[in-house]
């Protein structure tokens, strides 16, 4: 049951992270076109982190420790991509990682 919850939380976090990444990058591109921001966009790195979270959430069902590690990496790395906006998505990824890790500990 915890594996399924870890999968669901991971997928919710991935969807929220993808949405935030898309909006964050789009607004930065529009801002640079308008000339009022010098920040660079990290869309492809954000997409890479989202894919890591997706793979981690799927692996949480079959190989919980690998899924936990990937969800943890994605949850932390998203802060470097989206800054404080990651607080909307990363808790789902991090709680999913904790649940997947706890399942692997109980199983052994």
In the chain, what are the domain boundaries? 2-107
Residue 22 reports pLDDT greater than 70: yes
Place 53 in a pLDDT band, splitting at 50, 70 and 90.
Answer: very high
104, 68 Cβ separation under 8 angstroms: yes
79, 90 Cβ separation under 8 angstroms: yes
Smallest CA-to-CA distance from 76 within 61, 104, 106, 56 is with 56
Question: What average pLDDT does range 27-37 have in this prediction?
Answer: 71
Question: What average pLDDT does range 23-38 have in this prediction?
Answer: 73
Helices assigned H by DSSP within 35-89: 43-62, 64-82
Residue 42 reports pLDDT greater than 60: yes
The whole-chain average pLDDT of the chain stands at 88
């Amino acid at each position: 049951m915890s594996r399924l919850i870890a999968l669901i939380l991971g997928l919710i976090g991935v969807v929220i992270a993808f949405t935030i990444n898309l909006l964050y990058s789009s607004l930065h591109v529009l801002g640079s076109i308008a000339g009022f921001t010098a920040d660079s966009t990290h869309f492809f790195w954000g997409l890479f982190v989202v894919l890591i979270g997706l793979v981690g959430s799927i692996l949480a069902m079959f190989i919980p420790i690998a899924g936990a590690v990937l969800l943890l990496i994605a949850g932390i790395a998203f802060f470097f991509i989206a800054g404080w906006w990651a607080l909307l998505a990363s808790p789902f990824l991090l709680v999913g990682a904790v649940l997947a890790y706890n399942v692997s500990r109980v199983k052994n």
